[in-house]
Every structure is written in C-alpha cells, then in structure tokens.
Structure 1
C-alpha cells in the first residue's frame, strides 16, 4: 500500500524532491516522507480554515496557519527571574577550569567491557594514590594529552562535549570525578586541578535574552501540541508519523 494523506496519494516524485533537502539526515528517506506527510496535513488544515490566498506560497500559508492557530502566552518578569535563578551557569562569564584526564578509547581490539574493567581499576588506584595521575595518564591514555600527563589546559564551558562539560564544571579544585565519564570518545578519568569561578551577569542585563529563550521554548511546546492534534485527526495511510518534530517548524 502506498502513502496517502486524507485520501490523496503521496507520489514518489514528491518524496524524491524532498530527499534532496535531507542528504545529511541519519535516514534521508524516512525524514523526507515525514516532511511531505506533515506538510500535506498542514496544507489541508489551511484549506479547511480558508487560508487559500492565490499569491501565497505553501510555506507562507503554513506560517499564516501557525500565526492564527498557535497561541503563546506572554513571558512575564517572574518567569524570567525563575529561569535566570535556575540557569546561572549559562549567564556566568569568565569561568575556567584547568583539568586533566585519562582516555580509554573503545576499539575492536579493546571492547567496552574490558576498557571499563581496566579504567575502574585505575580510577580506584587514583583515589588512594592521586600523585600517580601523570604517570598513569602517560601509560594508559589514548589521548595525545597523555604525553603531558593528561593535561587539557584551561577550558571554558562549551569547549568539550556536553557530557564531559557537565562533570568538569561540577568538580571542585583538586577533585577527582568519582565515576568514569562516558562520551563518544570512550571512557574518561577526570580531575580538575584549578578553578576560576567567573562573574555572574546581572539579571537586568540578560532579561531580554532570557525572555527570548522562554518565548522560543513556549512556542515549541505549543506548536508540538498543535501538530499532534492535527496529525491525530488526519487520515494517514502507509506510514506512521512519529511525533511532530520537523524542520518545517523549527
């Protein structure tokens, strides 16, 4: 059975044309089908509501549909203040850490289970004898930094992958992470040697930035809910539309 939206078939030509926009997607075909089907659902809803301006493009009709149907409440000072208080790290400037690590990289010759066992033993050794960090980094680390005892130098937030960053900026000066840190690169033993705490920007100076963030988040939530309603109401055959997340609505 082919793919149809509200009784109208989706053609292979439509999908092929859409695939050109998703060459870098993990699954270009799946993403293209998702986009074509969602666009059909939205345009059918625009037709139902009479949004049929002769000169408007499909994208303009969809934007008009969103403007008419997706309602987002205004952001107030209290909401901005709560967000600011809960995300102070994001508004801190000049925060730096000096850190070092030992990387155990996953390879076909060194599977994850074996690496985890070795890394756990070395982490336990460093808990008792932290002075051996440089020595063990030179011996075991699969990172070029191993040649200098695992030193990564000074780092600011965002310099490392998020899962590494999250641990790095929670550690106190001199603290060794109590667990192995897993990233796309492998397993890490991490220690922060020094910290520079940085300066928190005052609320008034970032109030509009916070408000813009909250507006975007509120818009995405409202839009996601709206799309789920439309998709649930539409008759879609031949494919299961997973969620309503799409470049159409970003």
Structure 2
C-alpha cells in the first residue's frame, strides 16, 4: 500500500486546541464533548475517508461528516478502498485444519451462547441511514481490536457498549449472559444459533429492536462437528482474524502519516502492510 501525505483541502479548519482534528479536519463541534471511544471511531473513519479521496474513489468535495455520520458516497468509497488495499490471503486447508483441531469446542452445534452486544435502537423518527453508519463505525472499531482482554482496561467492546448502546445491558458492558434460542427474538436467534462463530461477528445483526454489534464469548451444548462439516465456518474465522490484523495495521499506517490533534491513536511510522 502506497500512501502520500494527506492534503485535507478546503475542508481543513484553523487549529484550535479544544477541537480534535485529523489533518486539520474537525471531528466535532467546538462546544461538543465526546467520549474517547467515539472520538477514536470518528478519527478512524476520517482517516479512511481521506484515504478514499486521495485514491480518487471519493470526490474531494465530499463534506466532512457532521456528528460523525459519513455520507453514503463516503461509506461506499471506504468499502471500495478497503477491498482494494487490504490483502487477505485465502486460508489454506492445513491452516484451517490446525485451527479446527486447536478450537474444536468452538465448532459444536451449540444451543446455548454467552453474548454481549451494542444495540443501536430503531425508534420512531430515527434516521436509519445515519444509525446504520454509526453501527458500522462501531463494528469497524471493535473488530479492529478483537481479542482485547475481556473486562480489562483495554476492553474496547465493553467501553463501546457503555458509551453507545441503547440497551440497559450497556451499563454492564453489553453483557447478555447465557442465552438459548428461546430467549431471543427469532430473527436474532437465527443469526446467533444458525452459525458456529465465536468472537465479534463480522456483520451487523438485525432484529426488531434495531442493529446489534454482537460478540459471542462462548458456546455450549450440542455435538462436536467434524472438520469437513464446518470447514466453511473455520475459513470464515481465519479470514476474520486476517481482516482484523490487516485493518489494524492499515489504520496504524494512516495514523502514522497523518497530523492528529486531540485524539490518541496507535500510529506506525513505517508501513506494516503493502
């Protein structure tokens, strides 16, 4: 991946110490106070938006987002840019078999799962497009930090739930405890129990309550499944691991080349991805 220093263009604003900025582009209004979690999310989204502009995938006149909500064109351009820049090798048969052997318990046909989630609730009058963009930004952030020790000071998922979730469980870091299919709305249960994934799901889960960012912490019950019957799920898990690593490194490179003010991101001064 080749990146040149950013030119933020006409959207750049005069420096003010009370406003966090990426290459001069304000992440929030001067009087607005954001949590560290939301500020990082906005910074990562802005880094990606600027990268898409630099790559010619997004019009340079695309307005810097207000309230952290990207334009539809920016969201599509970022998806296209990530699809082009992130190199995700297809997991080999040998790697899949090693992963299955080391994590066989994950691939039982489970009927009980321990979950936590961040709910972006759909309420009357809510802007669904903006809501989805906020949910996708949250998913991007927690996937980028998937694997952080649960319950520790660095637990990004727990902080996201506390800061952003519209569910009372947010006060407990999004924890839902152990659930069976009967405990859930049918459409939610299909997404959770129709798969064998463990970890942050790589997609938003839709339910009658809204959009959920979901992490499956553990599964119990059911019978162990032979490798041949879960090979697809194993490959998905390895692709997700590769995506998390590549995305984290990509954001580190972008942050290392950007001028950041008022926001703390891990920055790499040398490229970690091609």
- Between Structure 1 and Structure 2, the one with more helix by share is 1
Structure 1 or 2, whichever has the larger Rg, is 1
TM-score (norm 1): 0.47
